[in-house]
Amino acid sequence: MKAQITPKQSQQFILAGNALVTFKSLRTNKHFTYRIKKKKNASIWFVSVAYNGGDRQFNYIGCILADNTFKHTKASQVKQSTDSFIAFNWAWNNLSSEQIELWHEGHCGRCGRTLTEPESIKLGYGPVCKSLIN
């Protein structure tokens, strides 16, 4: 079950370690779903965008560095000019904007397990991971 993430929760959720999040533009009504995974033992997060509808296949688009900058890399599978790259870059730099909505996809932002309890769905984390995040 999807749930909306508040602007206050958004950066923490995205950087939790294994986030699956959808950004929706309220201006254009377009949306993209991204997977953001933390590299083990490093302060770098790999960002991929979902394609191919319900099959949930992902293309790597760039990374978030320790200083919170998002960057295109040589390994990126999409160009910087694609809508999905532009959308993530803009949203990442404008997380508190009233022009976007952020939704988690019913999976814990830290471990990726399916959320089943109403409170967990609301927060975006399972009970164990929530205690590790705060």
User: Does residue 90 carry a pLDDT above 70?
Assistant: yes
Regarding predicted confidence, which is higher, 8 or 24? Answer: 24
d(CA 60, CA 63): 9
pLDDT for 8: 87
pLDDT for 72: 98
User: Does residue 1 carry a pLDDT above 80?
Assistant: no
Q: Is-contact 128 110, C-beta < 8 A?
A: no
d(CA 13, CA 110): 8
pTM of structure: 0.91
